[in-house]
Amino acid sequence: MGEERRVHDYQIIDSGDKRILIFGGNRYETVYSRKLIELIIERKGLARTPEYFVHKEKREYLLLPLFNYLNSHGYKGLRVLEVGCSGGQFTELLNKQDCFGQIYSYDIDKLLVEVTKTKVDELGLNKVKQVDCFSSRETTSLPYENNFFDVIIVSSVLEHLPFENRYIYVDEYYRKLKTGGLIAFLDTPNRNYPLESHSVGLPFISKFSAQTAFIYAKLFGKLKGVDFPEFVRAGTGWRNASYYDCLPKTLFFVVKDVSEEMDYGYAFFKKMRRTMRSKIFILPFLSLIRFIALRLDFPVSFFLPYLNVVFKKTHDYEK
């Protein structure tokens, strides 16, 4: 029999090389250690912990076009920066790829950084060179050399950066990226998509001023117990992010959108079609939008609820 331990309102059972988390009459199996499980519970709460057991498998589709492109073109030993590593779900995936040789990761959340560091030690993620915890202010001046990284991955981060000076953070990513390097902004809620589905869930709210958006959300009962200072504090995601936010603003760099070379727009267009309920009417409309976007040389992501775009830094005038 496996070792059993009851803690408060859940149990963790050691069963060979796996652990079983039991609560609410359900059992959740994972290869993660007891220490990792308890760290995740401490940070994310018991109810959300099971999703972190399968998070990397469910989210791997976000990275597959990038992985396929780099591996098929024979890239090896690339140095990659993971912005906002969270609990190391993507860190695990990056470590498995032949194209990467060194992985640097950071987050501003101390507990999640501890989760990632524990994974590095326990899962043998040997390509990981650094996992850091920085303050938000520190991420505007990252302690890496300029032109240091071949690839930078920014997933589910941009929408949470302070709205008024978001460009400072983004420009810093580009400063650390090598000329010829790639930066991927993934799973970023699109501010210009009509329905805000990431946070408040109301049409067009991300286009309003803060005061108007607050009143709008309150009238529709979306902000119970939330006051205005909390609604507009740095890090709240209701404003989302635009394609324009993904581009450098104060640096003399030339960048090229290479998302379609990796089939990012097409891949997520297909994913969106599969999730549509009323396919009879929606599919022709979406197909027309994609056709127009490609003919007019618009990014397909302009018309999708989430931005998944990759840019190449092609020229640096500041050398």
CA 108 to chain centre: 14
State the first-to-last Cα distance of the chain, in angstroms, to the nearest integer: 63
CA distance 111 to 133: 9
Residue 189 · residue 159 · CB < 8 Å: yes
Residue 171 · residue 203 · CB < 8 Å: no
Instruction: Give residue-wise pLDDT tens across range 57-68.
Output: 888 989 999 999
Q: Is residue 195 part of a domain?
A: no
Please state, as a whole number, how many other Cβ atoms lie within 10 Å of the Cβ of residue 165: 11
Instruction: Give residue-wise pLDDT tens across range 80-113.
Output: 999 999 999 999 999 999 999 999 999 999 999 9
CA distance 66 to 24: 39
Instruction: Give residue-wise pLDDT tens across range 8-38.
Output: 689 999 998 999 999 999 999 999 999 999 9
Shared domain check, 168 and 21:
no
Secondary structure of the chain in HEC code, one letter for each residue = CCEEEEECCEEEEEECCEEEEEECCEEEEECCCHHHHHHHHHHHCCCCHHHHCCHHHHHHHHCHHHHHHHHHCCCCCEEEEEECCCCCHHHHHHHCCCCEEEEEEEECCHHHHHHHHHHHHHHCCCCEEEEEECCCCHHHCCCCCCCCEEEEEEECCHHHCCCCCHHHHHHHHHHHEEEEEEEEEEEEEECCCCECCCCCCCECHHHCCHHHHHHHHHHCCCCCCCCHHHHHCCCCCCCCECCHHHCCCCCCEEEEECCHHHCHHHHHHHHHHHHCCCHHHHHHHHHHHHHHHHHCCCCHHHHCCEEEEEEEEEEECCC
CA distance 10 to 13: 10
Q: Is residue 211 part of a domain?
A: no
Asked which of 154-158, 196-200, 252-256 is least confident by mean pLDDT, the reply is: 196-200
Shared domain check, 22 and 115:
no
Shared domain check, 83 and 38:
no
Q: At 2, is the pLDDT very low, low, confident or very high (cuts 50, 70, 90)?
A: very low
CA distance 83 to 63: 14
* 169 CB-side CA count, 13 A: 23
Position 4 scores a pLDDT of 46
Q: Is residue 300 part of a domain?
A: no
Shared domain check, 151 and 104:
yes
CA distance 126 to 238: 37
Is the predicted pLDDT of residue 271 greater than 50, yes or no?
yes
CA distance 112 to 110: 6
Q: Is residue 207 part of a domain?
A: no
In residues, how long is the chain?
A: 319
Shared domain check, 146 and 68:
yes
Domain harbouring 90, CATH code = 3.40.50.150
Shared domain check, 254 and 149:
yes
Q: Is residue 81 part of a domain?
A: yes
Shared domain check, 63 and 48:
no
Quote the number of domains for the chain. 2
Burial environment of residue 160 by CB neighbours within 10 A (0 to 12, 13 to 18, 19 or more): buried
Q: What is the phi/psi pair of residue 29, to 5°?
A: -100, 145
Shared domain check, 253 and 147:
yes
Question: Which domain range does residue 152 map to?
Answer: 58-190+241-262+306-316
| Domain end among 37, 53, 69 | 53
Residue 72 · residue 3 · CB < 8 Å: no
Q: Is residue 142 part of a domain?
A: yes
Per-residue exposure over 79-111, b if at least 16 CB sit within 10 Å of its own CB, e if not? bbbbbbbbbbbbbbbbbebebbeebbbbbbeee
Is the predicted pLDDT of residue 170 greater than 70, yes or no?
yes
Shared domain check, 19 and 97:
no
Position 280 scores a pLDDT of 54
Position 311 scores a pLDDT of 97
Shared domain check, 165 and 93:
yes
Shared domain check, 144 and 40:
no
Shared domain check, 66 and 23:
no
Residue with tokens 């309920």: 277
Instruction: Calculate the average pLDDT of the chain.
Output: 90
Is the predicted pLDDT of residue 3 greater than 50, yes or no?
no
Q: What is the phi/psi pair of residue 243, to 5°?
A: -55, -40
Q: Is residue 40 part of a domain?
A: yes
User: pTM score, two decimals?
Assistant: 0.91
Q: Is residue 23 part of a domain?
A: yes
| Domain end among 53, 68, 84 | 53
